[in-house]
Amino acid sequence: MEGVTSPEFRALLAAQGGIGLLCTEFVRISRAPLHPRAILRAVVKAPGLPLSVQVMGRDASKMAEAAGWVVDAGADVVDINLGCPMPRVVRQGVGAAMLRDPALLFEVVSAMRAKVPGLLSAKMRAGFDDAEDVLALGQLLVQAGVDFLTIHPRRRADFYEGVADWRIIGSLARELPIPIVGNGDIWYAADALRMRQQTGCAAVMIGRPALRNPWIFEQLADLEAGREPRRPDGEALLGWILERRAQLHATAPARSRVGRLKEQLGYLLRALPDGGALRREILRLPDEGAILARAERALRDLGADELDLDAQGSLALERSGSALHAPTRPRRAPPAPALATPPEPSPALAPSRGAQTLRLPIRLGDGSQVEAVLYRGDTLCLSTQVGCAVRCPFCASGVGGLRRSLALEELWAQVEAVRALGHRLRRLTLSGIGEPLHAHEACAAFVEEAARRGLPTSLTTSGGPIRGADASPRLASWLRLPHNGLTVSVHAGTEPIRARLVPQGPALGPLFALLDRELPRLSRSRRKKIALAYLLLQGENDSMAELEAFAARARRLDVAVHLYDHNAIASSAMRGAGRAGYEAAYAALKGWGLLVRMSSQARLEPVGGCGTLLAAPPGPEPFDPLPRAGVRLELPPPID
């Protein structure tokens, strides 16, 4: 719930009724010197409700000091975060990563216990890679002094995939001598009562479902009191959106309002049977007025029976947890169907390895072949099309032109293929074969779902179509998607060189006009995720005049520039500028005021390096020109 549960939003939810304890998002406690004012900003109570303040860190003395300040500021509960699964958090050794170090966990919680005279709690996942030690971890926390424990019954490895296994909550409730609070997949008010009945937990904690249904706490209170719970209709939903928008105007910086409103709508529209299409449409809209107008047209006349917002979940658009049996597949088809049989490489189809790469030619269900590349053991570069229409002459991927775009399940199938080989992925990038903006719908849905699963995803694009009936919003909407980085391949400073090197990409004029218009509308943090790419080619774009023309365009945007070296391929006579030429270009671009980043070694690998991937149409045998081999994927029929 980071970035969502601000004091203002908590107060707005509390006003609906039914809440017994409000919780803050986590406050990071790092190795840097503590600043009491930053910590105390979290301690803002809603009228008449107790407040739990969550802290996250791994330094016992600093966590204890922060806990003391939180208590002094008036918090009713101090909570420690042992559940956040996000990669950037886990890399710091905090959140769910603490579950891997029981000795440190005990030290930190014990130190906090010494500073907290009132209630101390912990919120944890069922484990990091497995749930075998969940009871032992719970017992350790009891020994360290927590007064109650909140459990989200997924492992860190699950992120938010699958369905929460409430049986784990029941096990802890039976075995531990402290109250257990259940959390996870309580999508409907009736689920909360069912969780308590099935698990024996003392209370429930509701997070993401409250963003989807702000009335869920009120509905739960009505169910408990024997009253008929409220059934919001489209007008009520629109009223909540307008109330949230007014609150953002009163409290949020202007540059972040549109993004935060879209984030809220992303959850609310899950209550519509066709909400995914509307959500993607709204993500492409540039301003608040257009967003609200489109939401009003879609929602104003919807009846309560057309929305999945009733207390019982009559439309069952979400898959709730259970403690009566092992979790089963979601009722609605997920973006990435599980493979009928996990793909296993046969001796004849072994992937090829470089020093920092693992290259995987992958045979799709129709016999087409693409390639994916694993960089440094944890970053997967996926292909988005069979071939490429952009036809860059220095790249092997477009040699045969474009055959077709990949479907959403075929994008996820590449991820599953690599996981089946035993690799744990931390990052994804849509930078393999194909132009992601030409496979717009599938790739946009993939990025959104990957963000929900906690897999940071970046992409590389030529800019996609700029002209055409549906083209102009594409790059603009992609700038705002929840990606982890978007790099626009430019490779030129003048139009003739651009037309030669990126023959089917947009011209520089309309491309930079769009970027000039859209980038200032992004928040500073979003702009930092945008970059330009310049692939240096001897005798093509390595002259000082061409570089200077590029610098003049790029300087206006105030974004980073990736200066790439070239990988030689058999289908092209083009070559890189050599080490001396590369260093001269790097120095020149820096001298003209650009933030320049150099090629990573993994990009220069002859096996799976940038520009070397190949695609092939359906055929009787795997396309194997090097030769190399791959993994054959047989997808099951779509799930009803």
Give the tens place of pLDDT for each residue, 346-398: 222 346 676 678 888 888 877 788 888 888 788 999 999 998 888 899 888 87
pLDDT at 628: 30
The gap from C-alpha 312 to its chain's centroid, in whole angstroms, comes to: 29
Give the tens place of pLDDT for each residue, 236-282: 999 999 998 998 888 888 888 888 888 888 889 999 987 778 888 88
The rounded distance, in Å, linking the Cα atoms of 6 and 265 is 17
Q: Is 36 exposed, middle or buried (0-12, 13-18, 19+ CB in 10 A)?
A: middle
Check pLDDT > 90 for residue 577: no
pLDDT at 505: 86
The rounded distance, in Å, linking the Cα atoms of 198 and 38 is 41
Q: Which two three-digit tokens encode residue 265?
A: 């709508």
pLDDT at 323: 75
Query: Are 417 and 359 in contact, with CB atoms under 8 Å apart?
Result: no
Q: Which two three-digit tokens encode residue 4?
A: 């969502």
pLDDT at 357: 80
The rounded distance, in Å, linking the Cα atoms of 276 and 270 is 7
- Fold of the domain spanning 7-230: TIM Barrel (3.20.20)
Q: Which residue type does 110 have? A: S
* pLDDT bracket for residue 8 (50, 70, 90): confident
Give the tens place of pLDDT for each residue, 534-562: 999 999 999 999 999 999 999 999 899 99
Over residues 420-437, the mean pLDDT reads 88
pLDDT at 311: 94
The rounded distance, in Å, linking the Cα atoms of 297 and 303 is 14
Q: Which two three-digit tokens encode residue 615?
A: 């695609």
* pLDDT bracket for residue 88 (50, 70, 90): confident
Please indicate whether residue 182 or residue 399 has the higher confidence score (pLDDT).
182
Q: Is 376 exposed, middle or buried (0-12, 13-18, 19+ CB in 10 A)?
A: middle
* pLDDT bracket for residue 100 (50, 70, 90): very high
Give the tens place of pLDDT for each residue, 286-298: 888 999 999 999 8
For 371, phi then psi, to 5°, come to -135, 140
Q: Looking at domain 347-632, which CATH architecture does it have?
A: Alpha-Beta Barrel (3.20)
pLDDT at 620: 43
Active-site option among 84, 201, 381, 395: 84
Check pLDDT > 60 for residue 334: no
Query: Are 547 and 505 in contact, with CB atoms under 8 Å apart?
Result: no
Give the tens place of pLDDT for each residue, 193-236: 999 999 999 999 999 899 999 999 999 999 999 999 999 999 99
* pLDDT bracket for residue 111 (50, 70, 90): very high
Over residues 154-183, the mean pLDDT reads 92
Check pLDDT > 90 for residue 607: no
pLDDT at 402: 84
pTM: 0.54
Query: Are 545 and 576 in contact, with CB atoms under 8 Å apart?
Result: no
pLDDT at 336: 33
* pLDDT bracket for residue 120 (50, 70, 90): very high
Question: What are 396's strand-pairing partners?
Answer: none
Lowest mean pLDDT across 125-139, 202-216, 493-507, 615-629: 615-629
Check pLDDT > 90 for residue 456: yes
Please indicate whether residue 423 or residue 543 has the higher confidence score (pLDDT).
543
Over residues 85-108, the mean pLDDT reads 93
pLDDT at 416: 87
Give the tens place of pLDDT for each residue, 40-52: 777 888 888 999 9
Q: Where are the beta strands (DSSP E) in 9-157?
A: 22-23, 27-28, 51-56, 77-82, 119-127, 148-155
The gap from C-alpha 492 to its chain's centroid, in whole angstroms, comes to: 32
- 8-state DSSP, 305: G
Tell me whether residue 392 is one of the annotated catalytic residues.
no
The rounded distance, in Å, linking the Cα atoms of 92 and 496 is 47
Please indicate whether residue 179 or residue 29 has the higher confidence score (pLDDT).
179
Location of structure tokens 């002459």? 393
Q: Which residue type does 509 have? A: G
Please indicate whether residue 600 or residue 276 has the higher confidence score (pLDDT).
276
Question: What are 478's strand-pairing partners?
Answer: none
Check pLDDT > 70 for residue 404: yes
The rounded distance, in Å, linking the Cα atoms of 102 and 536 is 50
Sign for the CA dihedral angle at 446, 451, 456, 462 comes to positive
* pLDDT bracket for residue 588 (50, 70, 90): very high
Q: Which two three-digit tokens encode residue 520?
A: 């200032």
Average pLDDT, the chain: 84
Beta-carbon neighbour count of residue 472 at 10 Å? 16
Lowest mean pLDDT across 82-86, 471-475, 501-505: 471-475
Give the tens place of pLDDT for each residue, 67-77: 999 999 999 99
For 457, phi then psi, to 5°, come to -130, 125
The rounded distance, in Å, linking the Cα atoms of 410 and 354 is 25
Peptide bond into 627 cis (omega under 30): yes
For the chain, what is the radius of gyration of the CA atoms? 26
